[in-house]
């Protein structure tokens, strides 16, 4: 009878006390939603890192400067695709190839390029060619806009030549690699074909090919009339404004017991005179006060030559050897809040020239290229029923 001991049925641990209702274990619960939908999940805070940490504290942030960087991000696909397509044969690109060029065309990696194209129906179009493949190209309206931009480039050629001359005059050896100017040409409004245009100005430029094949642009003739910075011109108009533009405080002992007015006068004596960016300031002792004044002047003049009186850090760093800049450029600009505003994140920040903008964040002097870009951005935002009004506006002006 031992075997009966081992095979006695064990009672249920939780017997159903009410026979009228079935055992809940007999039901499937697969139909129940056990996970919170992604759209209802709380967003995780972004990790605190130089990639996301604002370069300027919230309390000191100027919204209209920050919004300009947001605008650049919004239209990154437009600006990069416009530039890339313009250099392609027939200004078209196979759609399958475009989907692999997220870096060149400026759309998020992993996203479909068609999504970015659809955001600008007035400017970009896709069509099926006779080879039965889909292609990306410009609309007729965009073709007209590109002709308008080309006309602006022709009209502004003399101004762009002057900008390049001033950049060379500021550089240490009065020479800059041609590739550096080409890579950063858009912030100065320099045209795509400027490498061919410089051949028209042998009295200003000399193109030298070094042993390693690098092409370097050299200054042929120094022009004293161009060796005047924007800050020096402003000094002749508003001396008090320039005196307050920078601050190089004097280090002194508290035992002196100076009053506030005396401190201001002492700091002013330490600030002036400034060092011209067109001088041989690179010969100064690297960590001296005069050398810092020189580097501040270089950045100020560099920004004044740009179309929008601003530049990203990688625009500035591109010329660090030519302009004798140090790794402390960020700290140097941060210490001059009266003149410069830093926007963006600690890893990718931009320097703005405050005097170039009014109190509403609008450029005081707008270059024709800037006016064109603003019109292009306006058309880029038009969708649906706005398209007809956009076409009417464009062709009524023409």
Question: Each residue of 328-376: pLDDT tens digit?
Answer: 899 999 989 999 999 999 888 999 999 999 998 999 999 999 999 999 9
Torsion angle, alpha carbons of 158, 160, 166, 171, to 10: -140
Mean pLDDT of 250-258: 51
- In the structure, what pLDDT confidence band is assigned to residue 130 with cuts at 50, 70 and 90? confident
Pair 301, 311: CB distance under 8 Å: no
pLDDT at 8: 52
CB-based contact 106:79 (threshold 8 Å)? yes
Q: What is the mean pLDDT of the chain?
A: 85
Residue 245: pLDDT band (50, 70, 90) is confident
Pick the CATH number of 69-138 from 3.50.50.60, 3.40.50.720, 3.40.50.11540, 1.10.10.10: 1.10.10.10
Long-range contacts at 51-55 (CB < 8 A, ≥ 24 apart):
51/345, 51/346, 51/347, 51/348, 52/345, 53/345, 53/346, 54/344, 54/345, 54/346, 55/342, 55/343, 55/344, 55/345, 55/346, 55/349
Locate 19 and state its tokens. 């026979």
CA angle 297, 302, 303 (to 5 degrees): 100
Domain residue ranges in the chain: 69-138, 143-374
Residues 6+ apart with CB under 8 A from 327: none
Residue whose structure tokens are 């051949």? 199
Least confident of 118-122, 170-174, 284-288: 284-288
More confident residue, 107 or 50: 107
- Cα–Cα distances (Å) from 321 to 170, 171, 182, 310, 317, in that order, read 12, 9, 16, 20, 8
pLDDT bracket for residue 258 (50, 70, 90)? low
Q: How far apart are CA 305 and CA 310, in angstroms?
A: 9
147 near 197, Cβ under 8 Å?
no
Banded pLDDT at 150 (limits 50, 70, 90): very high
Confidence (pLDDT) at 252: 47
Predicted confidence at residue 286, as pLDDT, reads: 87
CA dihedral angle for residue 61, residue 56, residue 341, residue 171, rounded to 10 degrees: -160
Alpha carbons 142 and 146: distance in angstroms, whole number: 6
370 neighbors 308 (Cβ within 8 angstroms): yes
Give the predicted TM-score (pTM) of the model.
0.82
**For residue 254, what pLDDT is reported?**
52
The answer for residues whose C-beta is within 8 angstroms of residue 21's C-beta and 6 or more apart is none
CA contacts within 13 A on the Cβ side of 137: 14
Write the pLDDT tens digit of every residue in 197-229: 999 999 999 999 998 889 999 999 999 999 999
Q: Computed over its alpha carbons, how large is the radius of gyration of the chain?
A: 31
User: Tell me, what's the pLDDT at 181?
Assistant: 96
Between residues 271 and 93, which one has the greater pLDDT?
A: 93
Question: Span 84-102, mean pLDDT?
Answer: 94
* Whether the predicted pLDDT of 1 surpasses 70: no
Cα–chain center distance at 94? 28
pLDDT in the model for residue 242: 81
Residue 260 reports pLDDT greater than 70: no
């Amino acid at each position: 009878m031992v075997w009966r001991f081992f095979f006695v049925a064990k009672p249920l641990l939780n017997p159903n006390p009410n026979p009228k209702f079935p055992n809940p274990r007999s039901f499937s619960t697969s139909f129940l939603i056990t996970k919170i939908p992604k759209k209802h999940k709380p967003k995780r805070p972004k990790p605190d890192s130089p990639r996301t940490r604002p370069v300027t504290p919230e309390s000191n942030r100027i919204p209209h400067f920050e919004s300009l960087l947001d605008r650049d991000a919004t239209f990154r696909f437009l600006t990069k695709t416009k530039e890339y397509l313009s250099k392609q044969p027939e200004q078209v690109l196979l759609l399958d190839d475009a989907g692999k060029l997220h870096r060149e065309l400026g759309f998020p990696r992993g996203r479909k390029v068609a999504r970015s194209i659809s955001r600008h129906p007035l400017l970009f179009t896709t069509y099926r060619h006779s080879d039965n493949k889909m292609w990306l190209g410009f609309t007729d309206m965009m073709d007209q806009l590109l002709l308008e931009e080309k006309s602006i480039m022709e009209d502004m050629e003399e101004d762009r030549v002057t900008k390049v001359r001033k950049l060379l005059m500021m550089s240490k050896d009065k020479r800059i690699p041609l590739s550096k100017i080409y890579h950063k040409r858009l912030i100065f409004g320099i045209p795509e074909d400027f490498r061919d245009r410089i051949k028209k100005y042998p009295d200003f430029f000399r193109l030298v090919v070094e042993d390693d094949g690098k092409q370097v642009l050299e200054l042929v003739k120094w022009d004293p009339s161009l060796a005047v910075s924007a800050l020096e011109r402003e000094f002749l108009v508003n001396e008090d404004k320039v005196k307050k533009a920078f601050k190089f405080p004097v280090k002194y002992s508290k035992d002196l017991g100076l009053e506030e007015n005396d401190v201001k006068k002492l700091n002013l004596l330490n600030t002036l005179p400034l060092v011209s960016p067109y001088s041989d300031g690179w010969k100064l002792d690297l960590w001296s006060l005069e050398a810092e004044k020189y580097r501040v002047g270089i950045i100020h003049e560099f920004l004044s030559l740009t179309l929008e009186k601003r530049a990203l850090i990688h625009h500035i760093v591109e010329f660090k050897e030519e302009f004798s800049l140090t790794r402390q450029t960020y700290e140097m600009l941060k210490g001059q809040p009266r003149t410069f505003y830093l926007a963006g994140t600690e890893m990718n920040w931009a320097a703005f020239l405050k005097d170039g903008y009014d109190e509403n964040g609008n450029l005081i002097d707008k270059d024709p290229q800037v006016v064109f870009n603003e019109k292009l951005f306006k058309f880029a935002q038009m969708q649906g029923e706005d398209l007809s009004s956009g076409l009417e506006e464009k062709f009524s002006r023409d």
